[in-house]
């Protein structure tokens, strides 16, 4: 499966592409949150210029221990940003767990729902099915407040693969277009560094589900552990991890450092084209 249908877009994911992270938060773990709408919109435009194919707009931090954000505040943060960037022709994803925010974001022009809770909140699947937005189904063990306390799996790859298959089937049964489903192992969401590395080594097993695979490891703690670097100094580590994920089958890389990641993918692609490689592009229907 090489085309992802997301709202009015058809994204060619035969070659890996980049999703730029646009946090409209005060407490993002990576320290890049922007509560000011104009600054967030400007950053979104810059990521598009740098080669991002999708902008992932989020108003509620899901980092371990983050404070929840109420619905009105989340809407206030993300809707103006989504509206502005979608109106300029961007393929915008909304990073939220709340069905009401999903609905408003789609009305504002979002083409994709990125839910770290894999649309398990009551009402979420219905909102997605009633739209033509793509969905990213991410695995998380536990919930953000407590997920890093004691993550445990009998077999992390098998369990996550089964979970993603189950959620994708539930979405298809509810009427969501299977060409709009993306799956994601959820690096760092109820996982130890060893779990994260095991998943990255076996991404092929998740790619085999047949849905485009999204990986988000940008600036995460596992990279800090490996390099000893603070969160603001993990760009090189993030690019290396994104490239390794792409080589193992990831088709969408969710990153902060868009330009660096796009360049790294382009160089890899020039040396060692991906199977059935064609220039990655997005067409608007």
**Beta carbon nearer to ligand 7PJ, 218 or 267:** 218
Q: What is the distance between the alpha carbons of residues 101 and 75, in angstroms, rounded to a whole number? A: 6
Residue choice 105, 213, 214, 223 for contact with ligand 7PJ (CB under 6 A): 214
Q: What is the distance between the alpha carbons of residues 14 and 44, in angstroms, rounded to a whole number? A: 24
Task: Indicate the pairing of strand 181-184 with strand 3-6.
Answer: unpaired
Is residue 202 annotated as a catalytic residue, yes or no? no
Residue choice 147, 187, 213, 237 for contact with ligand 7PJ (CB under 6 A): 187
Helix, strand or coil for residue 11? strand
Residue choice 21, 24, 86, 119 for contact with ligand 7PJ (CB under 6 A): 21
Please report how many Cα atoms fall inside a 13 Å half-sphere around the Cα of residue 3, on the Cβ side.
9
For residue 283, what is the DSSP state? E
Q: How far is the CB of 271 from ligand 7PJ (least distance, A)?
A: 27
Q: Is 25 in the site for ligand 7PJ (CB under 6 A)?
A: no
Residue choice 7, 212, 216, 249 for contact with ligand 7PJ (CB under 6 A): 216
Is residue 220 annotated as a catalytic residue, yes or no? yes
**Which one is catalytic: 77, 98, 167, 220?**
220
Q: How far is the CB of 106 from ligand 7PJ (least distance, A)?
A: 17
Four-point Cα dihedral 140, 178, 109, 24, nearest 10: 10
Q: How far is the CB of 101 from ligand 7PJ (least distance, A)?
A: 14
- Which residues are paired to 35 by β-bridges? none
Q: What is the distance between the alpha carbons of residues 68 and 195, in angstroms, rounded to a whole number? A: 26
CB 121 within 8 A of CB 96: no
Residue choice 95, 148, 195, 212 for contact with ligand 7PJ (CB under 6 A): 95
Map the footprint of ligand 7PJ across residues 217-276, applying CB under 6 A: 218, 220, 254
Nearest Cα to 180, choosing from 265, 91, 270? 91
Q: Is 109 in the site for ligand 7PJ (CB under 6 A)?
A: no
**Beta carbon nearer to ligand 7PJ, 47 or 273:** 47
Nearest Cα to 118, choosing from 135, 103, 130, 106? 135
Task: Enumerate binding residues for ligand 7PJ (CB under 6 A).
Answer: 21, 62-63, 95, 114, 116, 136, 138, 184, 186-187, 214, 216, 218, 220, 254
Active site residues: 220, 254
């Amino acid at each position: 499966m090489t085309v992802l249908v997301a709202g009015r877009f058809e994204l060619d994911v035969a070659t890996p592409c980049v999703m730029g992270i646009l946090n409209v938060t005060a407490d993002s773990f990576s320290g890049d949150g922007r509560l000011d709408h104009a600054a967030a919109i400007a950053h979104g435009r810059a990521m598009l210029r740098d080669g991002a194919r999708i902008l992932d707009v989020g108003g509620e931090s899901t980092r371990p221990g983050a404070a929840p954000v109420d619905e009105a505040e989340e809407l206030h943060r993300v809707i103006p940003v989504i509206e502005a960037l979608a109106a300029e022709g961007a393929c915008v994803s909304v990073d939220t767990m709340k069905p009401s925010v999903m609905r408003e974001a789609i009305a504002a022009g979002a083409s994709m729902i990125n839910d770290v809770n894999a649309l398990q909140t009551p009402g979420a699947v219905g909102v997605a099915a009633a739209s033509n937005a793509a969905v990213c189904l991410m695995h998380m063990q536990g919930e953000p407040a407590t997920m890093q306390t004691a993550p445990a799996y009998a077999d992390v790859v098998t369990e996550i693969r089964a979970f993603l298959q189950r959620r994708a089937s539930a979405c298809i049964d509810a009427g969501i277009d299977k060409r709009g489903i993306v799956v994601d192992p959820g690096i760092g969401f109820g996982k130890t560094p060893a779990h994260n590395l095991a998943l990255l080594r076996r991404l092929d097993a998740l790619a085999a589900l047949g849905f485009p695979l999204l990986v988000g490891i940008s600036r995460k703690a596992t990279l800090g552990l490996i390099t000893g670097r603070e969160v603001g100094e993990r760009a090189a580590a993030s690019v290396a991890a994104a490239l390794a994920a792409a080589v193992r089958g990831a088709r969408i890389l969710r990153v902060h450092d868009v330009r660096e990641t796009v360049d790294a993918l382009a160089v890899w692609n020039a040396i060692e084209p991906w199977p059935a490689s064609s220039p990655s592009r997005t067409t608007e229907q």
